[in-house]
Structure 1
Amino acid sequence: MSNVTVFDTIKALEEIPSYSKHEQFVQGIIHAIEAKIISKGDPLPSINVLIKELGFARETIMRGYRELKNRGIVEAKRRLGYFVANEATDQSLKVALLMFLFDSFQEQFYRNFRNELGNKVHIDVFFHHGNITMFETMIDMIKGKYGAYVIAPIPHPKTRMLLQGLPERKLVLFDRFEPVGLKSSYITQEFEQSTYRVLAELAPTIKTFDQLVFFHTTESFDPIEIIRSYRKFAKDFDVKAKIVPEYKKGSVKKGHVYFTLNNAEIWQILKDCETKGLSPGKDIGILSCNDELLKEIIGGGITTYSTDFSLMGIRAAQAVVQKETVHELIPTLLYRRKSL
């Protein structure tokens, strides 16, 4: 690579009067990549060298490199300088998407997030699986390398501190809320009040059964707010209720309402109902969280309450593209079906 040649591609754009110095610098680097003068992995001139060769202000060059970094075209390596990171120069932004895991409702989020951003935005997807060590490792790995950070946070004492290490205006939280700063965005759901409201609405039906059973373990990702609401509801409405760690195969019992956030437990309960000749909605009740197409159909329909993950994905993408601070709670709705 010849630095003079790179300088020439930048200087050549002086002939375009509509270009600012910033645009001249950014487009000059892009033209050098497109002309194969520089390629992925090649080093780029330092800021001091560019000031000397071009006569541009330091802030102009730094702002130009920031834009190229945000678009994923250039990367900065500590103590080594700037390098070409990507030869796909038509992309407008590089986004880090850090999710819990890729289940059905996270897929709804991703599909709509991806579609709303469009083809010119590059997305790198990571999964933390609710593990704080993995979460911290991934935050350190992506820090300073992206134009936007879209993250599903973990409810953990270290989470806030870790997130505050990212640029506040480039941070968009989704799914669960974490108080990071007023300049960061969030598009999240609410668990405690919505769970209580749903259970209260279902109370007349629930009270026609003998007992309400909630499957929950402390190792699960179940929000603690749901457990608090469940206990408060049982007390306020004088409902016989209990929490057990998991559903055991073959243990379905007539007169019970089963509340679970685990889809595998729902499928097993339905299978056991078929074996024992029990009818969901009549002999037993089932309540689930996070709606999806299969729950509309299986077992005659499973009653769920859910936020709209498709809408959440769209809103998160809009926050990234528009670069405006957004604070939004996506409503949680009850979908009553045959099972309860």
Structure 2
Amino acid sequence: MKLFFDYIKELRDTRTYTKHEQLVQGVCNAVAAKHIKIGEMLPSVNTMIHELGFSRETVSRAYKELIERGIIMSKNRKGYYLINTNVGSTQKIALVFPEFTLEAQLLYKELYDLLEYNGTIEVFFYNEKADMLRQLLKNIHGNFSYYILDILPNVQTEILGSLANYNTNRFIFLNHFIPDFTGKAHQLSIDFNVSFYHVMKGLLHDLRKWDEIVLLESNLWSRFPEIPLSFQSLIHEEGLNGSIGFVRKTNDMLEKNICYLTAFDTTLGELLKELHLQELKLNEDIAIIGVGTNTVWENTTHGFSQVKFPIKPMAQQILKCITHKRKKHLLHKHLALEYSQGITF
């Protein structure tokens, strides 16, 4: 009959496993074989050291990973207890966003679907405040397998010192590249300046058909300031008649022959309402290009085009990060904005 430690010792000849991985997988194998049941206590760190000859650091790190994966828990330093027998590829993931947005919802859904129930995801928000993010990380660190963070550029400078206190090889930074953590964390960034410029430049032939190009004011640009900057560069370099402002009206009537770039917010809804009430034709009297991602509008028949955030590709890259066999391999990848055309101009 196998003893608990036999499940770990039999992995010694598996060259692809480090000692840390031998211990983690060995414990999982013992649980899968029902050698230990929920509520039962695992051997102490000292016992593990004595039986296996592993270092204290190796054993402690392995137990910490098992805690992060939600398989065991530590009870007031009395010992480690089994709390979950689902030892497949279970992951506990923390999604940390600046605020509640549609992009956050969609990324959660995509990631949840990709995990296929082999993980749990919890979502947190820091309200675009560095102090809240600092406290949030302090509260949740050590409780999850991976931490997926969207840290705004204006928050980065205030939080860098605090981030340096963590082992960030299980951090995945989204959207905004953080140079200080090159080679220290996974980074899935979007170069909004270059990517937005590239998409819009591809539309120059169509954009020149309109008397004016207007990027409508939006709170979204405070999160992605590169977009209005890229828009201004395009207007200047290509000699387009364009500006950042509000909907153009004369005597409360929409002015014709204008192309609007707008975030998916209340402004877009109001613009579409005016378009309908005044019986104007989209892409004949007025053009609209939505910036962001919104499946609600996307599935309607309004017919406007979109510059979309790459939600699905980002979720797929996150999955690569958390399932990569080489845990020390840190992924750094730039993603691009996507263009979806509505009715031809």
Q: Structure 1-normalised TM-score?
A: 0.79
User: Which position in structure 2 is the counterpart of 1:99?
Assistant: 97
Q: Is 1:139 aligned to 2:137, yes or no?
A: yes
CA deviation map 1:94-118 (0-9, x unaligned) = 2222134454443332222223233
Task: Name the amino acid aligned to 2:95.
Answer: L
1:186 is displaced (CA, Å) by 1.7
Cα distance in 1 for residues equivalent to 2:37 and 2:74: 20
Letter of the 2:283 partner, please give it: G
Distance 1:48 1:87 in 2: 23
Query: 1:196 deviation in Å?
Result: 1.6
* Stretches of structure 1 lacking an aligned partner (at least 5 in a row): 1-10, 39-43
CA RMSD in angstroms, aligned pairs only: 3.5
Q: 1:4 aligns to what? A: none
Q: Which residue of 2 aligns with 1:338?
A: 343
Aligned to 1:115: 113
1:175 aligns with 2:172: no
Unaligned runs of 5+ in 2: 13-21
Match of 1:66? 64
Moved more, 319-328 or 16-25: 16-25
Amino acid at match of 1:18: E
**What whole-Å deviation, never above 9, does each CA across 1:2-61 have from its counterpart, x for those lacking one?**
xxxxxxxxx9424556256835666668968625335xxxxx876457657997642343
8 Å contact from structure 1 (residues 186, 328) kept in 2: yes
- Per the alignment, do residues 132 and 279 of structure 1 end up closer, same or farther by CA in structure 2, a change over 3 Å counting? farther
TM-score scaled to structure 2, two decimals?
Answer: 0.78
Report the Cα offset of residue 320 of structure 1. 0.8
Corresponding pairs, count: 323
1:26-65 to structure 2, matched below 5 A, reads 34-37=37-40, 47-48=45-46, 57-65=55-63
1:148 Cα deviation after fit: 1.4
Residues 290-331 of structure 1: per-residue CA shift (max 9 Å, x gap): 344444453541111124311210111111111332111223
Q: Which amino acid aligns with 2:87?
A: D
Matching of residues 262-301 of structure 1 within 5 Å: 262-298=264-300, 300-301=302-303
C-alpha distance in 2 between matches for 1:171 and 1:108:
20
**Residue matched to 1:18:** 10
Q: CA deviation at 1:89?
A: 4.5
Give 1:221 shift. 4.0
Q: Percent identical across equivalent pairs?
A: 21
Cα deviation, residue 160, structure 1: 3.3
CA gap 1:151/1:217 in 2 versus in 1, 3 angstroms: same
Amino acid across the alignment from 2:10: S
Matched residue SS, 1:298: coil
Match of 2:232 in 1: 231
Name the CA distance, whole Å, in 2 between partners of 1:25 and 1:244: 60
- Using the TM superposition, give the Cα deviation of residue 176 of structure 1 relative to its aligned residue in structure 2, in angstroms: 2.8
Aligned 8 A contact 2:99 2:127 in 1: yes
Letter matched to residue 275 of structure 1: L
The CA distance in 2 between the partners of 1:129 and 1:85, in whole Å, is 36
